[in-house]
Amino acid sequence: MKTLIFETLENNKVKCGMCSHYCVIEDGKRGICCVRENHGGTLDTLVYPRLIARGIDPVEKKPIFHLKPGSLSYSIATVGCNFKCSFCQNADIAQMPADHNGLIRGVDTPPEEIVQQAVRGRCESISYTYTEPGVFFELAYETAKKAREKGLMNIFVTNGYMSPKAIEMIAPYLDAANVDLKAFNEKFYIKQCRAKLEPVKETLKLMKSLGILVEVTTLLIPGLNDDKEELKAMAAFIADSLGVETPWHISRFHPSYRLSHNKSTPLETLEQACKTGREAGLRYVYIGNASGLDAENTCCHSCGRVLVQRSMYRIKKYINEKGECPDCGTKVYGIF
Weakest-pLDDT range from 9-23, 25-39, 261-275, 318-332? 318-332
pLDDT at 45 (0 to 100): 98
pLDDT at 84 (0 to 100): 98
Angstrom distance (rounded) from CA 81 to CA 72? 25
Report the percent of the chain where pLDDT is more than 70. 100
Give 99-135 pLDDT, tens digit per residue. 999 999 999 999 999 999 999 999 999 999 999 999 9
pLDDT at 294 (0 to 100): 78
Angstrom distance (rounded) from CA 86 to CA 46? 24
Integer angstrom CA distances of residue 138 from 1, 50, 53, 124, 142: 8, 11, 16, 21, 6
119: left (phi over 0), alpha (psi -120 to 50) or beta: alpha
pLDDT at 172 (0 to 100): 98
Confidence of residue 323 (pLDDT cuts 50, 70, 90): confident
Confidence of residue 143 (pLDDT cuts 50, 70, 90): very high
pLDDT at 44 (0 to 100): 98
Give 178-214 pLDDT, tens digit per residue. 999 999 999 999 999 999 999 999 999 999 999 999 9
Angstrom distance (rounded) from CA 308 to CA 305? 9
pTM > 0.95: yes
pLDDT at 311 (0 to 100): 85
pLDDT at 316 (0 to 100): 82
pLDDT at 312 (0 to 100): 80
pLDDT at 320 (0 to 100): 66
Residue pair 70/16 in contact by the 8 Å Cβ criterion? no
Give 7-46 pLDDT, tens digit per residue. 999 999 999 999 999 999 999 999 999 999 999 999 999 9
Give 64-105 pLDDT, tens digit per residue. 999 999 999 999 999 999 999 999 999 999 999 999 999 999
Select the more confidently predicted residue: 249 or 314: 249
pLDDT at 100 (0 to 100): 98
